[in-house]
Amino acid sequence: MQVDTVLIKVASRCNINCKYCYVYHLGDINWSRIDKLISTETMKNIGSSLKCLAENQKREFSTVLHGGEPLMLGPTGLHQFLALLRTILPVSYPISIQTNGILITREILDVCSKFRASLAVSIDGPAQINDRARLDHKDRSTFDRVIAGIAQLEAHPDADFLYAGLLAVVDPTTDPAEIYGFFKGLTPPSVDFLYMDGNHSRLPPGKSSIDSTEYGSWMVQLLDLYLNDPAPIPIRVLDDMLKLLIGGGATKEGIGLSDFGILIFDTDGTITKNDTLKSAYEGADRFATNWKAGGTKILDLLDSEEYRQYHNLQKPTSSACLQCPELQVCGGGMTVHRWNDGNGYDNPTVYCADQLLLISNMRNHLKQRGLAA
């Protein structure tokens, strides 16, 4: 089994309180039981695991520092961990940080530049949209502080490397044109959009039924803006789906039928499954065996039946998916969005109708441009 992405939770707490966050607001409370920040000992144990993985795996993998809010580690802790990782992983192994941007400082950016770690910033749009969900723990706006962090990132001498892009969560009640125009004004290197987490038993916010297409309709409007813009900003999710429709490959989990090997390290060194799974039910992201960071244990995990079963969850199993002509593009969606309390993951994504609507519109755009039959 091969690993494509290692996500390391360096902080189990966050300095803001996003209403839709799967870590804190969708039922799982494991964050409250584990270390608030990664310790030096755990850093070393994770380093040992990654050294073993790099020595035994044929292809390189990406490492993502995550949280909570990973920059809560501070410049000293970040320097310590990135220095350790770079003694193990040469610069051809990408290291990135997913941050809400509020704690970005010149000192932190200098550390990231030194050890070649890029940053992607989460923001949902202009202030009145971003602050619907992305507030701090006192229900105050985070917008101005995020914009200040992005400005620091853009102003850094190494910004061309450091600034990886923006990440937004779709609210289907908003205006895609307003959000697209706002992001264009920020001139990021790229933007990615995520659907809110939900499943068949607990529908995502803004989705009225399994068959409704609120999210798909929003994405179709975004697609029209994107493809009719003579100078668009790259949008990863749209690019990946369009590439699949004209015979290319995807780089994003939950799209297409490519396998993605993903492992998570919690702040205490526990190795878990994809952490988004915890939004299905308490403990859904945990293995039955208590796998911990350190040495060759990671190889034992990758060779275990537990990991094989977890890895195979990516593959859709429902008859509706397996018979669908758009499976090669949709891929069945994110595993967690297939969950139903009654029959587990043996379902199409809760966003099936949305994705079919979006793919149909993509096909029409490609036909108009002579790129598809």
Digit-coded pLDDT (tens) for 84-133: 999 999 999 999 999 999 999 999 999 999 999 999 999 999 999 999 99
Counting every residue written for the chain, the total comes to 373
Hunting for tokens 């040469």 — which residue is that?
Answer: 90
Return the axis-axis angle of helices 236-245 and 352-368, rounded to nearest 10°: 70
| Residues 296-300: contacts with CB under 8 Å, at least 24 apart | 296/52, 297/49, 297/271, 298/49, 298/50, 298/52, 298/53, 298/263, 298/271, 299/52, 299/53, 299/56
Residue 115 in 3-state DSSP? coil
Q: What is the CATH number of domain 1-373?
A: 3.20.20.70
Domain boundaries, the chain: 1-373
352 to 83, 101, 313, 319, 342: CA distances (angstroms): 43, 32, 17, 13, 18
Return the axis-axis angle of helices 143-155 and 106-114, rounded to nearest 10°: 50
Cα dihedral 209/212/214/220 (nearest 10) = 150
- List beta partners, residue 136: 16
Cβ contact 88:53 at 8 Å:
no
How far apart are alpha carbons 358 and 145 in whole angstroms?
Answer: 34
- How many beta carbons lie within 10 A of that of residue 195, not counting itself? 25
Q: Average pLDDT of the chain? A: 95
Lowest mean pLDDT among 121-125, 201-205, 255-259, 269-273: 255-259
Over its C-alpha atoms, the chain yields an Rg (Å, rounded) of 20
How far apart are alpha carbons 254 and 126 in whole angstroms?
Answer: 27
144 to 13, 44, 108, 113: CA distances (angstroms): 21, 36, 19, 24
pLDDT tens digits, residue range 215-260? Answer: 999 999 999 999 999 999 999 999 999 999 998 887 777 888 888 8
- Write the single-letter amino acid at 220: V
Which run of H or E residues covers position 164? strand 163-169
| Residues 182-185: contacts with CB under 8 Å, at least 24 apart | 182/125, 182/126, 183/125, 183/233, 184/229, 184/233
pTM as predicted: 0.95
- pLDDT at residue 373 in the model: 55
DSSP alpha helix (H) spans, the chain:
40-56, 74-88, 106-114, 127-130, 143-155, 159-162, 176-186, 214-227, 236-245, 297-302, 305-312, 319-322, 327-330, 352-368
**Is it the case that residue 40 has pLDDT exceeding 80?**
yes
Cβ contact 191:168 at 8 Å:
yes
- pLDDT at residue 25 in the model: 83
Q: In 3D, which of 168, 170, 167, 166 has the Cα closest to residue 186?
A: 166
**Percent of the chain topping pLDDT 90:** 89
Q: How confident is the model at residue 134 (pLDDT cuts 50, 70, 90)?
A: very high
Lowest mean pLDDT among 23-32, 39-48, 84-93, 115-124: 23-32
Cβ contact 298:44 at 8 Å:
no
- Extract the tokens encoding 346: 């043996």
Residue 312 in 3-state DSSP? helix
